[in-house]
Structure 1
Amino acid sequence: MVALLARLPFRRHDGEASGSVPPGLFAVAAAVAVTVVGLLGLGLAVVVVQTLDPDGGMSTGASAVLAARLWLLAQGGELALLSGPLVLAPLLLTGLLAWGLSWAGRVSVRALDDDAGVRQVLRAAALVVVVHVLLSVLVAMVAGGEGAGLGWTRTLLGCLVLAVLAVGWGARRDSGLVDAALDRLPGVVRPVLRGLLAGLFTAFALGAAVVGIALASDAGGYAAISGTLGGAGAGAVGLLGLGALLLPNAVVAVLGLAAGPGFYVGSGTLVSVHGVTLGAVPALPLLAALPDTQAVPLVAFASQVVPAVAGLVAGLTAGRWFGDADGGSVIAGLAGLLTGSLLGVAVGVLAWAGGGSLGDGALAVVGAPPVATGIAVAAQAGIAAALAAAVSRWRALG
């Protein structure tokens, strides 16, 4: 609706156009809408959960503070608790926020004239980023206090980086600047990017399947953990919502398991294909997917095919998008190797974003090691993607 209104001029009583709404107004409105709608949705969800608590639950003000803290954590923020730093982004909420900021970037570009240049597009996108960061500062002021401080440097840097990436992604869809830039690069760039996205989606889907199988195999443990926690209906709904927010984090941890390095849930728990070490973990039903014994589960061994399968899909996609002027099977194989390597970089970044710490004690390390996971995925997916791209291109050439 905002994008549509951006195209409509105000008119005088005589029917003649009197000028258009300033494009910057729509950029500001879109940025404000993302924060307001997001916080209202989070706050409403927390309040609804608290109303199910037979003991009354938290007050509305406390629920608003909790929503603000979740909002900052989703952007890579840091909470300084008495037990240590809390740095763990709920990736589902991060994805939803990124989608909203991408929409705001599209609105800011659509409000411009059709002949707007690069400077106008960059100025509109930058305005959205600045407004979002300023609003995040206000939210951070609300989230502080009551035994929780803020790591201002990490919080502000996380807000800025997420806004730049998401708004830039949205702005490029309607501005055409990225397409124009890609046209100036070698033709193999587009197949590589398409292969990267296909491989990343494949890896994520297979990782989600592994998590689902692990949870289904211990459904009794999930129910037992949920039943032992208080709050009756409020506890069950709240834990279900928290599990949903952290489900992408679990998928990223599984990618670390599939690649080889494994993942940590604190210093006492390590799950990898080379062995399992079990220690005390938080009472979160989602963690029922962890093994119950020191033996490596069968699903962990089966998950080792994930990097190779993702690399095959990435290579096949890249090879099929090769044009007549892009080269033969050798060039396609090299492009596949690059695609698989970039897939490893992307998984490493996700492992860094999906991990963190829950204090400075036994849970100071949570998630898959980013560097080791990225290197392992790059090596496995790169070889598979190179072979798949070369064969795909060879078959296309007849």
Structure 2
Amino acid sequence: MVTLLARRPSRRDARAAARSAPSVVLTAAATVAVTAAGLVGLVLALVVVQALDPAGGMPLAASAALAARLWLLAQGAELLLPSGPLVLSPLLLTLLVARGLSWAGRVAVRVLDDGSSGRDVARAAGSVVALHLVLTGLLALVVDDGTAGIGWLRTLLAPAGLAVIAVGWGAGRESGSTDAALDRLPGMVRPVLRGVLAGTLTALALSLVVLAVALGSDAAGYVAVSGSLGGAGAGAVGLLGLGILLLPNAGVAVLGLAAGPGFYVGSGTLVSVHGVTLGAVPALPLLAALPDTQAVPLVAFASQVIPAVAGLVAGATLARWAGDSPGGSVVAGLAGLLAGALLGVVAGVLAWVAGGSLGDGALAVVGAPPVATGIAIPACAVTRWRAFG
């Protein structure tokens, strides 16, 4: 009898473990799939590019190492090159990583048993974050060599922040806790957030239009830089792919130009509406959009309407979703001021994320200054809105 009583708890534990095993396995599989799919996609893209090289291009192992480093950079990692630290996240790839992690967070919540508590949801999301960080650390350990070392502090902290935000968002949306938390906030919070989102997307879209105009005005320069780097079709396609990955970074730099502070491409090159300083820049065809002379181009002056238009779109979106607020015009005005301030905060954060460094010395600073851009955006939106009015 004693033996039977001793065995019963272990059997119950075994049955509980058996019930929980599928959810654990599915959560782990979804998390691993994000990294695996990203690496396989990057490796295949690099292999296709190398196939266009008449000289044969890089071997498969080198392509896999380059893909792994791109994956780490997209999460904010730091590579230690002989020329200095490389910290520049290709934001388009970063968005894809965040999208994948958000999906993994949703899967982790979806496979939970019915009636799971908020603690269970948090535990499931935490397991996704922990496993992703383990995979990221192992990947960094594999590619850490004499060619490109790893700055471990940033490589561990930045992916952790990205994973917490992306997985938390996905898990919160799937479980409904995000909507429940927003419902407990004052009624104007949702309209303000919608306005900030609409204003941010408008500013980025218009910034990309300005970038396209600048590139189109110097298409010959783009072709010349691309052709001078050699590599035949492989070089052209590879540089085009790199330029596409960096398009959001370039758009945020244009946003800094529109706000007034401008943007840097190294310490020797500054482009702003107050003046242009040109120095040596990397041989990247996307940089053909830079001015050819010290004169401020017309498109830079035209870009100054971007903060005003973004502010107007944010205000219109806020008014449409707020409807007849119970506080009247006073609450509506305060909500508009809050939306403008948050728009500046988001612009500053984007400038910080999109910038970085390409080594020591002359290329230690790349991108728009975050603090100055964040402060200038709401001020520009208000003053130019008044000028237009």
TM-score by length of 2: 0.92
In the TM superposition, what is the alpha-carbon distance from 1:384 to its structure 2 partner? 7.5
- List 4+ stretches of structure 1 deviating above 6 A: 383-388
In the TM superposition, what is the alpha-carbon distance from 1:327 to its structure 2 partner? 2.1
Per-residue CA deviation, residues 57-99 of structure 1 (Å, 9 max, x unaligned), is 1111111110111011000100011111000000010011111
Determine the structure 2 residue equivalent to 1:337: 337
Classify the secondary structure of the residue corresponding to 2:146: coil
Q: Distance in 2 between matches of 1:87 and 1:373?
A: 20
Classify the secondary structure of the residue corresponding to 2:292: coil
Determine the structure 2 residue equivalent to 1:135: 135
Task: List alignment gaps of at least 5 residues for structure 1.
Answer: 1-17, 392-398
In the TM superposition, what is the alpha-carbon distance from 1:380 to its structure 2 partner? 2.7
TM-score by length of 1: 0.90
Structure 1 residue 316 corresponds to structure 2 residue 332: no
Are the aligned partners of 1:27 and 1:128 in contact in 2 as well (CA < 8 Å)? Answer: yes
Are the aligned partners of 2:325 and 2:332 in contact in 1 as well (CA < 8 Å)? Answer: no
- The farther-off stretch of 322-331 and 90-99 is 322-331
Per-residue CA deviation, residues 309-355 of structure 1 (Å, 9 max, x unaligned), is 10111111111111445421221111011011111111111111110
The RMSD of aligned alpha carbons is 1.9
In the TM superposition, what is the alpha-carbon distance from 1:50 to its structure 2 partner? 1.2
Q: Distance in 2 between matches of 1:209 and 1:327?
A: 38
Counterpart residue type for residue 293 of structure 1: T
Q: Distance in 1 between matches of 2:206 and 2:21?
A: 47
Determine the structure 2 residue equivalent to 1:154: 154
In the TM superposition, what is the alpha-carbon distance from 1:173 to its structure 2 partner? 1.4
- The farther-off stretch of 22-31 and 103-112 is 22-31
Are the aligned partners of 1:46 and 1:63 in contact in 2 as well (CA < 8 Å)? Answer: yes
Counterpart residue type for residue 242 of structure 1: L
Per-residue CA deviation, residues 224-254 of structure 1 (Å, 9 max, x unaligned), is 1111111101101100000001111000000
Equivalent residue runs for 1:202-351 within 5 Å = 202-351=202-351
In the TM superposition, what is the alpha-carbon distance from 1:56 to its structure 2 partner? 1.6
Counterpart residue type for residue 50 of structure 1: Q
Q: Distance in 2 between matches of 1:37 and 1:343?
A: 34
Q: Distance in 2 between matches of 1:294 and 1:88?
A: 26
Indicate the percent of aligned positions where both proteins have the same amino acid.
72
In the TM superposition, what is the alpha-carbon distance from 1:20 to its structure 2 partner? 7.2
Determine the structure 2 residue equivalent to 1:10: none
Are the aligned partners of 1:340 and 1:383 in contact in 2 as well (CA < 8 Å)? Answer: no
Q: Distance in 1 between matches of 2:19 and 2:130?
A: 26
Aligned residues: 372
Per-residue CA deviation, residues 111-162 of structure 1 (Å, 9 max, x unaligned), is 1234222101111111110010000011101221132111000011011000
Q: Distance in 1 between matches of 2:382 and 2:49?
A: 45
Determine the structure 2 residue equivalent to 1:11: none
Are the aligned partners of 2:305 and 2:384 in contact in 1 as well (CA < 8 Å)? Answer: no
Counterpart residue type for residue 212 of structure 2: G
Q: Distance in 1 between matches of 2:141 and 2:386?
A: 50
Determine the structure 2 residue equivalent to 1:74: 74
Per-residue CA deviation, residues 248-294 of structure 1 (Å, 9 max, x unaligned), is 10000000000000000011100000000011111110000000111
- The farther-off stretch of 352-361 and 48-57 is 48-57
